[in-house]
Amino acid sequence: MADKKSTKDETPEGDVAKGGGKKKLLVVGLVAVLALAGAAYFFLFASSGEAEAAPEPEHGGYTALEPIAVNLAGGGFLKIGITLEYTAAAAAGGHGSGGVDGAKALDLVIATYSQAQPADVVGARDALKEALEHKIVEAYTEDGVPMVMHVYLTEYVTQ
C-alpha cells in the first residue's frame, strides 16, 4: 500500500516537473534557433552590400560655371555659383575638348531652386545641395558611366 500511495504522490509532481523542463528546453531551443538565424543573416546579407558598392570614379578636372540669379518661389532671389567635378571618362572625350558642358547643370539649378521657399534656401541648404548634386550626376551619366562626380557651391547669396 505504501507503494501505491507514494506513486500517487509522485505522479502529479513528476508531471509538473516534466512539463516545466519541456518548456525550458523549448525556450532555450527557440533562442538558439533565432541566434543562428540572426548570425546567418548578418554573414550572408549584411556584408554583401559592401561588396557591391561601386568604386569612386577617377577625378578628371573641374568646370566652374558663372553664378546665376534664381527667383525663389516665395519671393526674393538666390545668386548661386557652382563648380562641377568631372570624371576621367569625361576628360578623355565624348564632350569635345574634355570636361563637361554646364548647360544641363544650370538648367537643373534653376529648376531645383526656383521651387524653393526663401526659408528652405537658408535652413535646408545642405538638403537642397544634395538633391541638386543627385540630379546633376544623374543627368551627366552616359551608358552607366558618370561624367560628373561632385557639385560644389562656390557662391550662395540670398535676398
Which of 7, 32, 53 is at the close of a domain? 53
CB atoms within 10 A of CB 12: 9
Range of the domain at 74: 59-158
Number of domain units in the chain: 2
Residue 86 and residue 32 in one domain: no
Band (pLDDT 50/70/90 cuts) for residue 154 is very high
Question: Taking the complete model, does pTM exceed 0.95, yes or no?
Answer: no
Of 37, 53, 69, the residue at which a domain comes to its end is 53
Q: Are residues 43 and 67 in the same domain?
A: no
Among residues 9, 31, 53, the one where a domain terminates is 53
For the purposes of burial, counting CB atoms within 10 Å of the CB of 121, is it exposed (0-12), middle (13-18) or buried (19 or more)? buried
Give 74-125 pLDDT, tens digit per residue.
889 999 999 999 998 888 765 455 678 999 999 999 999 999 989 989 999 9
Q: Please answer whether residues 134 and 122 qualify as being in contact, where contact means their C-beta atoms are separated by less than 8 angstroms.
A: no
Residues 29 and 71 in one domain: no
